[in-house]
Structure formats: structure tokens, C-alpha cells
Structure 1
């Protein structure tokens, strides 16, 4: 029968719209201003901490909407931003310990059953939700120093393994070049061949051999660029992990230029706290403990040439070998658990290169202690000649464990005092080690009030555009205009639903502009269809035939117009910056949903209302 859908098509259209409505519904719930408390290092967040905070807030007459302990974090909700800020200050006084991280946040309020279905509100960008923006610069000098130091260790390890005797291997003062001095000419020739084979991206040059048999190693331009590229990309990955581990939701972290990183933290209202989280960059190193010398002698100034003295997390000191087995950048996973005796342990997995280094370093150290050295670069109040913050390097031994067998890509750290310490150590290892320190060179804060103002203006723009289009369609196309308006409403719901469903999709102010544009474009397809139906009616076709030919004839034109616009949106997303990408995302989604609602959606309503019926006149 003409203009009649089978039942399954009506149900399919209804199902798609209901799914969009379901996933769009969390956006109707307003987020609560909240304070999140988490522990750093050995700080424990438990029920005692919860009771302390609750009692102190009650004593200060600060009303709490709710407070709970989940996943070793406390989340306290409040009714207003002013109360939230007062509560944060009071909580910091109550805890009185810098090991606790107290961060302002916005907590979702939609029902648990929606969360269980994966239905969450749209992620809002910095310009809508407020938050902090940082432009950070990777310290490439430190990255090169670290890479050069690692090369020296690799040279020594390979030469020792091949029983090639050398006198000294050291970095040439003020350069990135490495001097390798051999004991005899026969070792020089063997060593040169071995190093050239093992390190094809290093250039080896022979020096004057009249008195010493030495070789100068310099980085090729490709290796130099690779080190810089690795430093930036690894730091981006590690910073994202650290921010996520510390509970900052939906961070936007991306590269800018050769050695800079842009970090945006929507919803974070405390710039100082965010800076603390990002600036306290850390690295990890595994070293062998020097048990042949007395720590007390080292404390009195007699530090052995091949060792260094470091403080431990229990207030004592430990003597470690200078040679670094490997750093945290080789760790791919770390999980806390229990060993066969029920004692806490941390299971660690390394990448292939890290596994090789660990195997070579531990084969001759079975029975010795291996230490995990935690290194932090903390900002000071001093600045350098460029006006950049000077960082203080703090080093601490956080764990020592005995090597019971030769280790490889998978091993475990035992001898840990408590499960809490094991959990914290696993978190630090998973978060990884920054290849080089990062400096904050620029920061800006967008307050939640400005973000709310942007949201209100954006919503007003959408509502105004929506209302004008609705009025025009009803006045100009009457009954069919109402059908188009229903499809337009479904289109808006589906855009919001899809934006809420896509992981990583963030709504920004330009994104709202894309929605406003989509509202206008969404009815364009219906205008083409309705005008074609009018034309068919003027040519004398019956209402049923005019509807059928109107939809069929207009389809190719609608498809051409929308496909070309979609291609333009894809190009904008591919080559555009953040704001342009936000516009392109909502425009692309809007084109796809408007095609569905304008062609399939309105056709379903028209068929349901007029299809297969003896209609003499259409309200169009």
C-alpha cells in the first residue's frame, strides 16, 4: 500500500529516538559543587578521615548535602559554590597535612540506574564549565642529560658483557658527546665494531690515538629528534595518567609545537591545586643497594665513589649504586596484591627493552637489595633569567626489595609494610615517570560563573533559533510544519544523546554554534521535500502520489547537500584547532541526525497520519 510502513519500521524509528532521549536525559540534572579528598604517598583516606572532616564542617556550621567514602576518596557535596569554597578551606585546616589533596570539583547527580547503562552528561569544555588552562614546556636539556646518561650506562653494560676492557666512559664537559677510552688498541678495535653495530644511530669518531685509544660518540640528528619527540609524547601520556589517578575528570592534554604541552582541566576551580598536581612532576629509578659500605660513614661525608646517599620514606638513609638499572618509563603495568604468604606485593610488567635491561642487571645481583627511588621536581618561589619557575629536585627511596632470582619483563616487589603502601606504590608505578621536568610558562583560569554565563547565552541562542524555525514551519507549512517540528525536536535530542555517548567528545562554545547552525539546516531537507510535494499537487497528482514522489525525488538533492557539508566538517576536524574541532564535531553529528529525522523520521509520521488513507487534501 502506498505510503505505508510495516510495523517494524515504526518501532525502529521509535527505538532510535528513545535511545537518544535516554542518553540525553542525564543532562537535565544539575551537577553538585563538591570537594574531593584523596591521599598522596602514605596518606590514608579512610572512615576516620571521613569522621574528622564531617565533625569539623559541622563545628564550622557548614551545611553538607552529602559525604561519602568511595575508592579511597572522599566526596563531599554542597548546595552552592560559596559553601563549597568555604568547605575546602575548612577541610584543609581539619586535615592539616600536605599529603592530602583537596580539590574542588563538580559531582554528577543523575540516578544510579542511568550510570549503570553508561548514560552520563555531556562533557563540557573549559569555556562552558570553567576550569584552568596551562601551557607547559618540557625541559629538553634535562631530557638530553638523561638520554646521555642512559647511553653511558648502555655502553658500559655492552662492553662489560663482551669482555672488552675500557679505561673510562664519560660525557664531555658542556656537550652531549661521550668519550670512550680503551686500555689497549685491540680493545679499541673490538669496542668500536661492537658499539657501531649495537648503536647504528650514534656516530663514532676516532680521536688521536698517540697516547690513548679513545672514541668520541655523538648523536645523529635523527636520534636527537627522536629523543625530543619521545620526551614530549611520553610526558603527555604520563601526565594524563597522573591527572586521572589523582581524580581530575576529563582533562584535555595535547601537544603544541616542538616542546610544549597544553593542559585544560574543565571543572577544576582551584588553580593553585591544579598547579600542584601538574608541577610536582616525578620520575622513578631502580638501583642496586650498596650493602658493602656503611651508611653511617656516608652520612659523615665518606660516600663511596660509585654510590650515592638518599633519604628513605621511613626517615633513615640508604646508600645506592650510581648505576641506574632502568627508570619508570619502561613500566607498562603495576598491580598491588598479596604473595603466597599473604603479604603485600606489587606485580610489575616492563616493555621489551626494559625487560632486557632488568635481566642483564639482576643476573649478577641475586641476593642483593634493589631500591625504588622516587624523584620529584617541586616548584620554588625563585625564577631563572627567563622568568621561569626554578624547580627543586627531591629524591626519596620508597621501597627496597631483595632480588631472589634473575628478573625479566615480569617481576614483583615484596617486603612492603602494608597493603596501603602497596596500593600507593602501584599507583605511582602505573602513573609512570616523566622523561623530563615540565615548567608552567602560562596559566589562565575561567571561573564557573563565566562558564555558566556562556552556557546560558548558548542555550538562549539555541532556544531562540529553535523557536523561530518552529514558528516559520507552522505558519508556512501548517500540518506538515508540525511534523517537521517534531522531527526537529527529535534531532536536537539525538545530537545531545550522541554527544553524551561518545567517549572524549566535549561540548564547547563553538560546539553550541554548530548546534544552532544544525537547527537551521535540519529543516532544509524538509523544506525541499515539502516544496516538491506542493509542486506534485499543483501538477494534479493525488495526495498519496504527491507524498510518495515528493520524498523519493528530493532524496538525491538532500543527500548531495548533506554529504558535501559533512566532508567540509570532517576537513575542519582534521586540520582545525580545539575550538574548530568542537564546531566540526557537533556539525557532523547534526548532519547525520538531521538526515535520519528529516527523511526517515518525518516520513514515518506522515505515513502514520496520512498514508494509506483516502485523503482529499493535505495541510501543507
Structure 2
């Protein structure tokens, strides 16, 4: 137990010093300084309660999911019936009453239509997400099941959460907290951001990009009156466009959605010197865009973003390269913002900010100062008690305590890139207590061994050996609790769990291994006949 060869000493000191040095930038910044950018700077990120920032609660408009599912199923049914051999002709398609119905021109096609539609009506684990019903021998009615709607809303919320995360990451913010709350809500916390307006603007846009053919047969007076021809729909022009205040009719089906985009970059058109967004489609989207442009040369198409028309250019020639460019009176900032939204993906469901809070940096700094003051007072009291009670062994415990704090901060900064919250500071204080508790167990055990008449070396060796068992058992139970908190907790609770778990390893390492090495060196050099412990 007290045998430490040279290679082992060097290894232990190397690990200790590297971890401790990694803590210096974080401690320097927390003390009010500014660590030089030219030097390596692993730092602990501060959470919302310490650095200040913005808290938003977003709620999804889940009704839009059901509407979108009906539209997607309608288009899928049209394509499937058209592609059947021989073709199944249908008419009188309707999405009224939140269900899809259509009329088969030939009642004899019922069985074939059912066979084609059955795979389309099944979702995950072959669960029926649509009910199939035949009315009056020829009308097919597809009604979404509640299970199907719930699955669709859940999938949409999972996708929306990931899109929100990507959009915030594009802003360059560090360690945001983005979690689902309930069935249709998302909590967003961004440390260091005290003006949430730009964030709200970014997250409030669904970024649903569509390319649809303009219905050139629509009468202008009907469009202005809001009357769309059959198979078409009306969209207003966006603000800032040349036709702001007017609308245009576009064909409802057959366009291209922006979900096949692989890239979007803000740029400037060299010919017109206006800000634009350059798009790049994936292979499937590029092929669809090529077919659409080839079949409609000389015709207008509308570029629609979030239900507003940005522009209605003309296909002068087929666009075969899988690339496109959109313009719409953008500024450099708005073009870049749109590019971020398109790169991160469209929100599958609109989100609305229903709660907003801002934590000032001054309040966060006050929390840091009070937390550090509490930790300092507690540490000094513990150090004084340890030295007064255990003498040299108390000094070793105090030094180990200092290395424990430095290693904990260094590992959080350099290895985990973790976020420190106010509960995390509480975790620090708890870690200090755990480390001291380990040393108390060891020292008391050594004292008992001496009272039993063991010699100094035997008493120290047996004290570390026996006490280590109790220390390991206690820390294993704490480790399990910390892992469970991390798995099932969220936000600050996870921050507390990270500090707790990492602190368990550093406190055992410093309180048991390092102090044992120092005591062994002292015993080997001085060979005392008695110890004051």
C-alpha cells in the first residue's frame, strides 16, 4: 500500500498537474480577468443563472401537423393512383372534416386501391395511422387515427427540438439548454444572451421554403378577392417586395419543398448587386427541380417562404445543376439569417413564444461571488479543523483538497467542456465535504491502529487499507445517485450531477492516492518512531 516506485510517482504528479493547470484559465476569468487569446484556454462555461442570459418557452401549433399530414397524404394518393398499372382514375378529392376522401371512377378498382394504400397507412411498428373506409361503393375515406396523430406530433416535436438546437448553434452561442417540456413545448436557455429579440426572430420562423408554379389562368380580380381556382391556393407577397400588398395564385400540388436542401449561403448577385441566398439541392431534389424547370420553360414559378411570396421569376431555361438562387429585397443580415434557417432545416411545426425571462449578468455575478464566498468560508473552517486535529496529516489533507478543486475545474473545462450552474457550485461544496470525509476516515483509522499498538508504518498502511473500503463503498452509492440524476434530470440538475460524479473521482484520487504517496515519502525519509494523528 505504501510502495510507490518512481514511474508511479511521476505518473500521478503528471496527471495532477495537467488537470490542475487546465483550471487556471477558468479561475482567472471568474476572478474578473481576461485570459489571453494567444494561450490555450480550456474554460468552464457558465450557465444561465451565473452568466445571465435568456429563457424562452416555445409552444408548438400542433394543429398544423394534422393539416400537413392531410396534404402529404393527398399528394401521395394522387401519385400512387397515377402510377398504378393500369392507372386508377380518381376525382372529387376533399380534405374537409380533417379526413381525406376521393371518388373512384370505377368501383371495380376498390381492392386494387386498398392494396396500394395499406402500406401507406401504416406507421412505425406497423401500427395503423389511418382508417380505411368505403362509402357508397366508390368513395374512399381515409381518417387519421389518434395514435397516428400522436406519433406525428411527437415526431414533429423531436424534429423541431433538433432544428432549434441547430439554429442556436449557428449563432455561435455556447452550451445552450434545449429540452422538451410536455408534449408540445420546448424550453430554450441561452447563457450570455441578454437581448432575446434576435433569438425570438430566428426561432419564430418555420423557414418552410417552397417552389410552386404560378396559376397563370387565375383571374386577377378573383385573386384580389381571395378566390382561388380549383387546385390552387393564394399567397400574399412578402413585405419589402415590389408587389407588397398584392397576392398571387399558385398550384397547390406538384412543387418542391425546401427539405431537400443540402446547403444555403448568403451572397451578392454580381449582376444586380443585391443580396441573395444561394441554394444547393440534394440529388433527388436536384432531379425534381430539373424536371420542374424543363417542363415549364417560359412559365412563372413562386418562391414561397413561410406562406409569403418572395418573388415570381420565370424559368428561362432548364436548371440542371441542382442549384438555385432566391432574392427578395434582402439586407446582408436578413439574407444571412434566412441562410441559417434554411441550413438548419425547416421547422415541421410553427413555434410561438409563450414565456420569456431575462437574467442579468449582474445577478449572475452576484451568484458566483456568494457561492465562492460560501465555499471559501466552508473550506477555511474545514482546513483549520483538519490541521488542528490531525497535524501533519491535516496539512496533507488540506493540500489534497486544493488539488481536488483544481482538478475538478480542469476536467470540467478541458475534457467535458461542461457548463457550471448555481447547483454546480453546490456540487463543489459537497465534493469538498466528501474529500474531507475520506481523509477523516483514514486519519481516524490510523489513530485506532496506533492505539492498538501497531508500529507507525503498519498503522499507516493498515489505516489506508481498511478506510479505503468504506470510502469506495460510500462513493459507489453516490456515483449511482449522480448517474441517475444526470440520466433523468435536466438543466441545472444535470449540472449538479456532472460536478458530483467528476468530484467523486477527483476526491478519491486526491484524498486517498495522493495523500498516501506523500505520507509514504515522508515515512521513508524521516522514519519517525511516533506520529501525531
- Alignment TM class, shorter chain as reference: 0.7 to 0.9
1:139 to 61, 71, 80: 61
Using CA pairs under 8 Å that are at least 6 residues apart, name the structure with larger relative contact order, 1 or 2: 2
Q: How does 1:88-127 map to 2 (within 5 A)?
A: 109-114=34-39, 117=40, 119-127=41-49
CA distances 1:436-486 after superposition (whole Å, capped 9, x unpaired): 211222222222222222111111111111111111111111111111111
Q: CA deviation at 1:394?
A: 4.3
Q: Who is 1:96 aligned against?
A: none
Of 510-519 and 246-255, deviating more is: 246-255
Q: 1:475 to 1:412 in 2, by over 3 A?
A: same
Q: 1:429 to 1:546 in 2, by over 3 A?
A: same
Q: CA deviation at 1:204?
A: 0.9
Higher strand share: 1
Segments of 5+ residues of structure 1 without an aligned counterpart are 33-78, 80-107, 376-392
Q: How does 1:473-512 map to 2 (within 5 A)?
A: 473-503=386-416, 505-512=418-425
Q: 1:441 to 1:586 in 2, by over 3 A?
A: same
Q: Who is 1:161 aligned against?
A: 83
CA distances 1:11-59 after superposition (whole Å, capped 9, x unpaired): 2222222222232122234489xxxxxxxxxxxxxxxxxxxxxxxxxxx
Q: What TM-score comes out, normalization by structure 2 length?
A: 0.84
* Distance in 1, Cα, partners of 2:170 & 2:302: 23
Q: Who is 1:289 aligned against?
A: 213
* Distance in 1, Cα, partners of 2:528 & 2:47: 50
Q: Who is 2:476 aligned against?
A: 563
Q: 1:295 to 1:253 in 2, by over 3 A?
A: farther
For residue 356 of structure 2, give the secondary structure of its aligned residue in structure 1: strand
Q: 1:503 to 1:232 in 2, by over 3 A?
A: farther
For residue 387 of structure 2, give the secondary structure of its aligned residue in structure 1: helix
The alignment covers a number of residue pairs equal to: 508
* Distance in 2, Cα, partners of 1:319 & 1:177: 24
2:141 to 213, 216, 235: 216
For residue 112 of structure 1, give the secondary structure of its aligned residue in structure 2: coil
The answer to whether the Cα contact below 8 Å between 1:134 and 1:262 also exists between their aligned partners in 2 is yes
Q: Who is 2:294 aligned against?
A: 366
Q: Who is 2:251 aligned against?
A: 321
Q: CA deviation at 1:552?
A: 2.0
Q: Who is 1:69 aligned against?
A: none
* Distance in 1, Cα, partners of 2:100 & 2:317: 32
Structure 1 position 3 matched with structure 2 position 28: no
1:334 to 263, 277, 288: 263
* Distance in 1, Cα, partners of 2:172 & 2:337: 14
CA distances 1:351-398 after superposition (whole Å, capped 9, x unpaired): xxxx4x8767865653547765321xxxxxxxxxxxxxxxxx644349
Structure 1 position 202 matched with structure 2 position 130: yes
1:396 to 297, 304, 310: 310
* Distance in 1, Cα, partners of 2:258 & 2:414: 34
The answer to whether the Cα contact below 8 Å between 1:165 and 1:182 also exists between their aligned partners in 2 is yes
Q: 1:440 to 1:428 in 2, by over 3 A?
A: closer
For residue 496 of structure 2, give the secondary structure of its aligned residue in structure 1: helix
The answer to whether the Cα contact below 8 Å between 1:287 and 1:321 also exists between their aligned partners in 2 is no
CA distances 1:255-289 after superposition (whole Å, capped 9, x unpaired): 011111111122121244443343x3222233243
Q: CA deviation at 1:542?
A: 2.9
* Distance in 2, Cα, partners of 1:237 & 1:344: 23
- Structural RMSD (CA): 3.6
Q: CA deviation at 1:605?
A: 1.8
Segments of 5+ residues of structure 2 without an aligned counterpart are 123-128, 268-275
Q: How does 1:177-256 map to 2 (within 5 A)?
A: 177-200=99-122, 201-209=129-137, 213-256=138-181
Structure 1 position 544 matched with structure 2 position 457: yes
CA distances 1:210-252 after superposition (whole Å, capped 9, x unpaired): xxx2111011232111111012111111112222223443321
For residue 457 of structure 1, give the secondary structure of its aligned residue in structure 2: helix
